Structure 1
Amino acid sequence: MTDELEILRAWAPPDVAPPPPDGAAGAARARARVALHAHIAAAPPARRARWRRRLLVTVPTAAALAALVVALVVALGTSGQVEPPRRHPYATAPTTAAAALERAARGAETASPAFPRPDQFFYTKSIATYLACSMDRDASYCALSSSRREAWISQTRRGEIRTVGLGVSWPSPAERRKWIAAGRPRLAAPGDGVTHAHPDGVYHVGDRRYSAQQMRDFDGSGAQLFRQVRDGLRPGQGPSPDGEVFVLLDDALRDQPLAPRMRAAVLRALALVPGIGFDGHAKDRLGRSAFAISRVANGTRRDILLDPATGVLLGERDTLVAHVPHETVSAPLGTVIGDAAYERTGVVDAAGQQP
């Protein structure tokens, strides 16, 4: 856009002399014209518009440079050290088995679960589906048997286990055809009943037995507990030493109370088992959020489903995952042949009570 001041500065007095002034008013106009001509003649030369255009180009660049400098100052901080990268706001869950187990172990250490006295009962309520197979010389077949279970276990008093059968299903059409070919014999469906649990006065972790006081006083590390469980294996026990340690640590989490430091050590020992897998977004059969620690043996993956905050056992699951013939069942990959959920646990004073 043309600058009006530049137009005025470019204006020159006309070569033709002005007419003579007309009275006092005319003399005043003449003097004003002479003064204007003198001012214009003495003014500095006009700046080129090109400089203004160049300024418009360089100003945003300078602003961007300033913003970059500010960003670098923030990133480096006043100490001159680069801050560690910040996690994405949605990336809050651990991404490895070791990280998830360590977080749960720390939660277990700070939890304050009720621990039963020797004369009290540890209560567990669960629902489970497990493979039930019938094999003889003429025919064999496998079905899935479901039941609900409540258990009251004590160190010094006779406990009780109540079971309610929920029915039978088939892991695959092939197993049902095998049952039909066998003459449709009566299935060994779970029945309703009550059994008694006799106290042995101890808790079990691997082959080691702990009294209630020893359980409360336990202060070993996960690495120490892992070596203890592994060293306690008998020759030929389990499909492999590492696989058996995995099973025994799972057993320790089920159907018995664990003092906070013992639970934390069991979780940290699990992280040391070779060949474990991890799923940070698992759910148990009741739909509860969990993380899964798994291991594959003989074509079957065993998932231990744990509460992310406390490491409490929520469930277990067995799934066919590899082209390795199962010793008893014929079913496609991905078939769940075992699934348990532990709905509720607690401490009560008598068998039959619920926490």
Structure 2
Amino acid sequence: MNTTPSRPAPVRPTPAEREELARLLPVPPERELSGRHRQALKDQLLREFRQDTAPAAGPRSAARRLTAVAVPLAAGALAVTLAASGALDREPGARPHAGVAPAPDRSPAAVLLDRIATVAAARPAPAVRDDQYVYVASTVAWSSRGADGSAPRLDTPHSRGIWLSVDGSRPGLLREKGMEIPLAGDVDKSGRPVSDHPAGNPAPTLGNPTYRYLESLPTDPGTLLKKIYDETRGSGPGPDQEAFVTIGDLLREQMAPPKVGAALYRAAARIPGVTVVDDAVDAAGRHGVAVARVHAGERTEWIFDRNTLEFLGERSVMAEDTAWARSGQITATTAVLTRGITDRAGDTPRRTG
């Protein structure tokens, strides 16, 4: 079945929003960054971030880290220092979270995210069975440190494919760098379980969701953001950054139902410190406009097509010099190429028409 989403028609802002967006989208993209993607992901990163007790691993659960693979090293190394000093509870200068999501504003980022949410909500919801898989194909590159402790450098972008059970009752599959890694129970080449542990994700969470779990999330942005803050409290480098990263994870290697996807974007607009980057480049060399947030000198960007506002990928860039990396250094980059639904792990969506 063909479930790869079709590209929506270009979005036309309202007159009131056009003035806000005019300064965001006028600059012709530059192509100079496409040559910077040069090195390859270290295989050991698949295992390095699986233990929740490791301070540098960030907040993701063991199962989620297996699918997300890695945390940018600049942020991870900082987490070690903060954990040792007991400073992980709040970001410097962050307002306290009393359980009430802040009201939306009309900042450039909020205007852009509202337009993105409107497009997401208008997409048709796919017909999905419990026994199927969400499939995401992407190009990715992460930073890795040399064994001699040398500064982290970005690896060469490479292909990555992941299959996640729709309801979590079956093992998923990760295909990357010539490896096929079962996610939970063992599977054979056809994607069928072959072990005594058939469940792939029987207890999904925000950090390790299934499609059915995403369907159950509230579609009111304020309620959804409160849930994210509540369930990630005490994790990661700080509540605001953790909320932003959690939403990014939900968007990157899953398929959110349209109304939930729209709510996630509108929830992100309420996180303090979210801004717009006029031009950003994903791992496939595609330029777009980005919604971003800076934490500990590193800027995390969600990149969108300028015309369709379709999610293209993510990029992490150093916004200032730190002990771990230099300003302007790209520490992570991804590009989502295909999303779809398949009947078996290892299959790709069939195209028709």
TM-score, length basis structure 2: 0.59
- Match in the other structure for 1:162: 175
Cα shift at 1:306: 3.0
Where does 1:135-284 land on structure 2 (aligned, <5 Å)?
139-146=149-156, 147-154=158-165, 155-164=168-177, 192-198=178-184, 199-201=200-202, 203-205=204-206, 212=212, 215-216=214-215, 218-235=217-234, 237-284=235-282
> Is 1:128–1:339's contact at 8 Å kept on the other side of the alignment?
yes
Distance 1:335 1:211 in 2: 34
* Aligned-partner residue type, residue 149 of structure 1: R
> Is 1:290–1:307's contact at 8 Å kept on the other side of the alignment?
yes
Q: Once the two structures are superposed, what CA deviation does each residue of 1:243-281 show, in whole Å capped at 9, x if it has no partner?
A: 111111111112112111110110001101101120244
Cα shift at 1:225: 1.0
- Match in the other structure for 1:24: none
Q: Once the two structures are superposed, what CA deviation does each residue of 1:284-309 show, in whole Å capped at 9, x if it has no partner?
A: 23243533111111211111113467
Distance 1:274 1:318 in 2: 18
> Is 1:123–1:153's contact at 8 Å kept on the other side of the alignment?
yes
Determine whether 1:354 maps to 2:348.
yes
When the two structures are aligned, how many residues end up with a matched partner?
235
Q: Once the two structures are superposed, what CA deviation does each residue of 1:81-139 show, in whole Å capped at 9, x if it has no partner?
A: xxx88968x94977811111111111111101425322101111111111111457xx5
SS at match of 2:145: strand
Cα shift at 1:311: 5.9
Cα shift at 1:150: 0.9
* Aligned-partner residue type, residue 151 of structure 1: I
> Is 2:218–2:224's contact at 8 Å kept on the other side of the alignment?
no
Max Rg structure: 1
Distance 2:122 2:179 in 1: 38
- Match in the other structure for 1:33: none
Sequence identity percentage: 29
SS at match of 1:205: coil
* Aligned-partner residue type, residue 142 of structure 1: P
Distance 1:206 1:158 in 2: 17
SS at match of 2:261: helix
> Is 1:225–1:266's contact at 8 Å kept on the other side of the alignment?
yes
Distance 1:85 1:305 in 2: 23
* Aligned-partner residue type, residue 352 of structure 1: G
> Is 2:290–2:301's contact at 8 Å kept on the other side of the alignment?
yes
* Aligned-partner residue type, residue 154 of structure 2: L
Q: 1:129 to 1:313 in 2, by over 3 A?
A: same
Determine whether 1:110 maps to 2:127.
no
Unaligned runs of 5+ in 2: 1-14, 26-106, 185-199
The structure in which a higher percent of residues are strand is: 1
Higher RCO structure (Cα 8 Å, ≥6 apart): 2
The structure in which a higher percent of residues are helix is: 1
Distance 1:242 1:274 in 2: 7
Q: 1:203 to 1:255 in 2, by over 3 A?
A: farther
* Aligned-partner residue type, residue 126 of structure 1: S
Distance 1:211 1:337 in 2: 29
- Match in the other structure for 2:135: 123
Distance 1:252 1:196 in 2: 20
Distance 2:295 2:143 in 1: 16
Distance 1:86 1:160 in 2: 42
* Aligned-partner residue type, residue 351 of structure 1: A
> Is 1:267–1:311's contact at 8 Å kept on the other side of the alignment?
no
SS at match of 1:114: coil
TM-score, length basis structure 1: 0.59
- Match in the other structure for 2:303: 305
- Match in the other structure for 1:336: 330
Distance 1:86 1:163 in 2: 42
* Aligned-partner residue type, residue 322 of structure 2: V
* Aligned-partner residue type, residue 200 of structure 1: N
Where does 1:30-45 land on structure 2 (aligned, <5 Å)?
none
Unaligned runs of 5+ in 1: 1-83, 165-191
